[in-house]
A and B are shown apart, each in its own frame.
Chain A
């Protein structure tokens, strides 16, 4: 375990136009270890791994590989030194097959320069088999594969170049639970074979299950490196945030009032079947379910994106038909979508314009926008939700994930919603901002807003909800009160199969 490091980075610094992204950070990876890299968004993790993989060149600091000083002018150099990276956004060519992707740019040749396709396919097969991935066809086009399978192709590609160090940037961010388990098995197997792994993730359970050592960065600076046995979760979180976090899920005590929303036998396609539930003022109703179970589809139906084909929606005692998001908004239903970048925000636009986007009529006199009032409201919102930004003219795309999410929430709060639907409110959000978003939710329910919270993260559902709805195969398979909501009960309901589903 205490083998000499294969790669060491010492005193790494990097600035981007005036902003110091990384200050004097040291980091090393030994063969056959999993070294977790932790930090909030903007802490410098990405900058560090990009220097390790040759994408950025450091302003100061040295990189040593296998005892020799190295300078990486490009990713090619890093790759030649045995360092490979699996990025969060997978960089595969969807129209090419698995085998073509794995050896792209690196094809084995036959005399005369012809690509030896038989060899390409055979070697890809062998590599996949080494990862126990017998179910993946080397001739399948990448576009037909799931995210988890694509990730395995990326790993295979790294192995095809005899990588000694594999950098994995948030590899489980978009995987469902069963795929996470499988990925972790692959990581363990690579470790056995002596590959050193840099594992970047926000998810504590994974880090404790996999890592041998953990290094924490904060605000571009180095905090500490520890053996995993020496630390617990609370310590790591406070190292990342720089202050102790009192409680991971600050459940506010709100007075639960009358029923605001009542849904009766709602249907839309295969993913929303015969759903009935009610939601009261000041209540947080959690929605649990596996990916693809129909949670988001339920939200989209309530929000008018995919209008219900049958069933009844009763809002404050009045039966309503919701056929467009605009109408949902006018009725007091707000939806903070799952895909922040695509659905939640116009990234190029300023914070000010995003905040007013869903309620632009309120900032207008006739058809004219009252720029002063708009700016004032945006300033208030930024302050109230403590969005960290230069100013309200800053494009939201430049903010960190957590701050972007706060802007989306601010946008919908401007509409004074009665029902706020939050779809994965803290996905891709760092620990500090996550706690802040939970606190905001607490304040909203105190003001009498009813919240429907969809989340893949079971601890979040259990920690924040007054009641939990469980959806499986488009149907409601459980409605559990906070007191009775244990991971086991919710988990059971999540995987419950409905007899009617096959029909």
Chain B
């Protein structure tokens, strides 16, 4: 019964996406072209990677607001490790990703060890990590990366943007984990009833710690891709990206209270938002109007799925 109503939400969302694509392609003939769509895929990869990890976090009933700051911190560190400390660039990127992952681990430790609500813990580290990034960068940007580095963010493999392959792989692996493994089962169980999960001998703390660490890792990888895409490093990178990711996740049908959600839903939600952003700007709608429309779509989608659920289960 439960999975049927989920399926319905995603089907509804997919239909909405198709409608949006059709409507937008009539608005501007530059929208529905292979090159534009691939380019949009490039643009949504960073949010997408973060949203995948965020789906797990939200499905346990948690939230991670610090991902944008972790992204910024990783970006800065990549530049600093390479230019100021003189590490080889691959090593610098890996080291920066390690720090970002550690930042996620710190979130998890604060939440599980000291029982701080995730909203508050990651709100605090949002400020903390951003502050660190700004302190380290001293408001200077790092540029002039070697050409091979831009393959990641600007290049193509088999005609498709490099980072889109990474996003696709991440999405496939994540959806298999969430749907078919005992880790995925544990995530849903914690999100539905954390106390009962603990009473059933599930490793609630370890699972949460792993998820926030993974969320930090995803944000860090997104950070490196971001740098490669825009060719530069600034400390304000990724500001507000957490809200875009959360929007995609929630639009995709993941319950903010936990216990429900799929990666497929998140991916459709992500595409929908990106299509609206791009299509509307091509059609000449101003940025403010686009944001308002995305807000409206979010509310409508949630209302519609609630409606489905009511008629579906009872």
Among the listed A324, A328, A346, A394, which residue makes an inter-chain contact with B192, where contact means beta carbons less than 8 Å apart?
Answer: A346
A468 to B186, CA, bound (A): 37
Q: Which residue of B lies closest to A363 (CB)?
A: B182
Contact of A342 among B1, B182, B196 (CB under 8 A): B196
Judged by a CB distance under 8 angstroms, whether A490 is at the interface is no
Q: Is B188 an interface residue (CB 8 A)?
A: yes
* Stretch of B101-109, B144-152, B198-206, B208-216 at the chain-chain interface: B198-206
Q: 0/1 per residue, B183-203, Cβ < 8 Å to A?
A: 101101100110111111111
Whether the pair B199, A343 counts as a contact (CB closer than 8 A) is: yes
Instruction: Tell me which residues across on chain B come within 8 A of A342, comparing CB atoms.
Output: 193, 195-196
Interface string of A359-400 (1 = CB under 8 A from B): 011001001110000000000000000000000011100000
Report the stretch among A129-137, A138-146, A348-356, A449-457 that lies at the interface.
A348-356
CA distance A350 to B4 in the complex (A): 13
The smallest C-beta distance from A323 to any residue of chain B, in angstroms, reads: 12
Given the complex, which residues of A lie within 8 Å of B197, measured CB to CB? 346, 357
B201 — which chain A residues lie within 8 A by C-beta? 324-326, 328-330, 358, 415
In the bound complex, what is the Cα–Cα distance between A484 and B177 (angstroms)?
56
For residue A483, CB closer than 8 A to chain B, the reply is no
Could you tell me if A345 and B196 are in contact, using CB atoms closer than 8 angstroms?
A: yes
Chain B contacts of A326 at CB under 8 A?
201-203
Q: Inside 8 A of A305's CB, which chain B residues have their CB?
A: 198-199
Q: Is the CB of A346 within 8 A of B182?
A: no
B interface, over-half SS: helix
Interface presence of A337 (CB below 8 A): yes
Most central of B186, B196, B202, B203 by chain A CB within 10 Å:
B196
Q: Looking at A305, A325, A346, which has the most chain B CB atoms within 10 Å of its CB? A: A346
CB distance from A369 to the nearest CB of B (A): 6
Q: Interface residue tally of chain B, by bracket?
A: 20 to 34
Q: Which of A17, A324, A348, A415 contacts B314 (CB 8 A)?
A: A17
Closest Cβ of chain B to A422, distance in Å, is 13
Interface size on A, residues (CB 8 A): 33
B244 to chain A, nearest CB (A): 28
Interface string of B72-110 (1 = CB under 8 A from A): 000000000000000000000000000000000000000
Q: In the complex, what distance in Å separates the CA atom of A143 from the CA atom of B134? A: 47
A348 near B181: Cβ-Cβ < 8 Å: no
A330→B201 CA distance, assembly (Å): 9
Complex interface: chain B residues within 8 A of A364 (CB): 181-182
Pick the residue among B199, B203, B314 that contacts A335 (CB under 8 A): B199
Provide the residues of chain A in CB contact with B189, threshold 8 Å: 346, 349, 353, 357
Q: Considering the chains assembled together, what is the distance between the CA atoms of A345 and B199 in angstroms?
A: 9
B259 within 8 A of A: yes
With a CB–CB cut-off of 8 A, which chain B residues contact A367? 177, 181-183
Instruction: Tell me the complex Cα distance, A367–B177, Å.
Output: 9
Assembled-state Cα–Cα distance A383/B180 (Å): 26
Q: Please, which residues of chain A bring their CB within 8 A of the CB of B1? A: 393-395
Q: Which of B183, B185, B198, B203 contacts A353 (CB 8 A)?
A: B185
Known A367-B183, A368-B180, A369-B180; contact A325-B192, beta-carbon cutoff 8 A: no
Residue B2 interfacial (CB < 8 Å): yes
Query: Inside 8 A of A329's CB, which chain B residues have their CB?
Result: 201
A330 to B198 CA separation, bound complex (whole angstroms): 14
Is the C-beta of A71 less than 8 angstroms from some C-beta in chain B? no
Q: Are B2 and A357 in contact (CB under 8 A)?
A: no
Interface check A121, CB cutoff 8 A: no
> Using Cβ atoms and an 8 Å threshold, which residues of chain B touch A348?
2, 192-193, 259
Known: A325-B199, A348-B192, A348-B193. 20 other contacts (CB 8 A): A17-B314, A305-B198, A326-B201, A326-B203, A344-B199, A346-B193, A346-B259, A348-B2, A349-B188, A357-B189, A357-B200, A357-B202, A360-B186, A364-B182, A367-B177, A367-B182, A368-B182, A369-B180, A369-B181, A395-B1
Top 10 closest A-B pairs, CB basis?
A: A329-B201, A326-B201, A367-B181, A357-B200, A346-B193, A343-B199, A358-B200, A346-B192, A360-B182, A325-B201
25 of the cross-chain contacts (CB-CB < 8 Å) are A17-B314, A305-B198, A325-B198, A326-B203, A343-B195, A344-B199, A345-B193, A346-B192, A346-B259, A348-B2, A348-B193, A349-B2, A349-B188, A349-B189, A349-B192, A357-B185, A360-B182, A360-B186, A360-B202, A364-B181, A364-B182, A367-B177, A368-B182, A369-B180, A369-B182
